[in-house]
Structure formats: C-alpha cells, structure tokens
Amino acid sequence: NAGVTQTPKFQVLKTGQSMTLQCAQDMNHEYMSWYRQDPGMGLRLIHYSVGAGITDQGEVPNGYNVSRSTTEDFPLRLLSAAPSQTSVYFCASNDGGSGQPQHFGDGTRLSIL
C-alpha cells in the first residue's frame, strides 16, 4: 500500500518557468490537500479538494492552480514560478469524515532561482 505518492522529490526552476507537482493516493480518500512548509514554520494550506471535480482555495492560493479529474490524483501547478515559492510542498489525503487523520506524502523540495 503506497499511501500518498508525490513526484518529483526535488526540483529547481528558474523564475518564470511553470511546472506541475504530482500527487496520487491509493486509499480511495475523498479529500486531498496541498500545503507548503517554509523554514521554521508549520504547514499552510494552498488548495484542497473534497472530491473529483471540486476544488477550493486555502490560506495561500496565489500563484497556484489545481484540478481534480479523478479520485486518485491531485496535481498542483505553478503558473509562473517566483522565488517566494521556494518551499517544501506536501500533499495529503483523508477520508473526509470526522475522526479521520490526514496522511501525508514525503514532500517535494522546490527551489526557484
């Protein structure tokens, strides 16, 4: 059982480039989320989804897009990378009901030059 899988693990981009961070889960979870973690801070929510075809903004959504065409996949797109988006990105999923903990992927470390 792979759980939540994120790719790539590391990426370096130049300012202005675009890219997609991939996230897949095999637990048939309804809910999926993207967070970013900056040095010395906890995680902050970027976007989330409560099911296929349904997405919404979190705390820090600017500069990012998401879509949810299947239950399993929830990609995060950086439209035009900026140095302020240098961070570690985590994808998470959970079952949606109360009392269900979130399960996290191993993260993607992204550097924008």
- In this structure, are residues 26 and 12 in contact, taking their beta carbons and an 8 Å threshold? no
Site for other proteins contains 66 (CB under 8 A): no
Phi, psi of 85 (to 5 degrees): -90, 5
Site for other proteins contains 39 (CB under 8 A): no
Cβ at position 16, least distance to other proteins in Å: 27
Place of tokens 């989320």: 33
Cβ at position 9, least distance to other proteins in Å: 10
- Give the three-class secondary structure for 16: coil
Site for other proteins contains 53 (CB under 8 A): no
Report the distance separating Cα 91 and Cα 103, nearest Å: 8
Site for other proteins contains 106 (CB under 8 A): yes
Number of residues forming the site for other proteins (CB under 8 A):
30
- The pair of structure tokens assigned to 37 is 């973690």
Enumerate binding residues for other proteins (CB under 8 A): 31-33, 35, 40-45, 48-50, 58, 88, 90, 92, 94, 96-104, 106-107, 109
